[in-house]
Amino acid sequence: MSLFSRRKILSLIALPVLLGACGFSPIYSEGSAASALQGKLEITAGKGREYFEMRERLIERFGFANDPRYTLTFSYIVNSEGLAVSSTAEITRYNLDGISDFKITDSNGVVVFSGNVKSTTAYSATSETYPTQVAEQDARSRLATALADQIVTRVSATASSWVK
């Protein structure tokens, strides 16, 4: 028996042609609106560790603004909820639900795009304070990164409708 069938090979050859025919184009291709945002988006953030981590992730993805034409501002809200309770009535698992509202304004202060993103992560708690605090801090960092990545995806996917 052959490892590759003709049908699979023909499907792989036809896939790029079919994707091009339906209007699909890479989001970061040269000359695209999303690639035009590189170095043009100034990112402002509030105070705190999670704001810093989100801002750093956004800068990593959009590039440092050396010629800003737009400003991205965002909020960061986290709700913690105990999930698992042990037989001794101690909470052993927590969910962190994060929400970030964001908006992009142009140089005239006009909002050109806004939205919100949501994500969830979790961490386990122990009877010891320090390991639980470290686990919570790590979960909050993961949540900030996930929210920032969702913002990048939303902004990049819609850039063609508002980038001038």
> What would the two tokens of residue 153 be?
């995806």
* CATH number, residue 107: 3.30.160.150
Torsions phi, psi of 144, nearest 5? -60, -40
Taken as a whole, the chain contains a residue count of 164
- pTM exceeds 0.85, yes or no: no
DSSP state of 138: H
Q: Is residue 17 part of a domain?
A: no
- Three-state DSSP class for 104? strand
**Is 54 part of any domain?**
yes
Q: What averages of pLDDT result for each successive group of 10 residues across the chain (164 residues)? A: 64 65 56 68 90 93 88 93 72 90 93 95 87 92 96 88 80
Do the domain assignments include residue 1? no
Q: How many domains does the chain have?
A: 1
Task: Write down the pLDDT at residue 32.
Answer: 53
Give the structural domain span for 55.
29-162
CB-CB contact of 101 with 126 (8 Å): no
Asked whether residue 151 is domain-assigned, the answer is yes
The pLDDT of residue 125 is 86
Predicted pLDDT at 57: 94
Q: Which residue has the tokens 């809200």?
A: 77
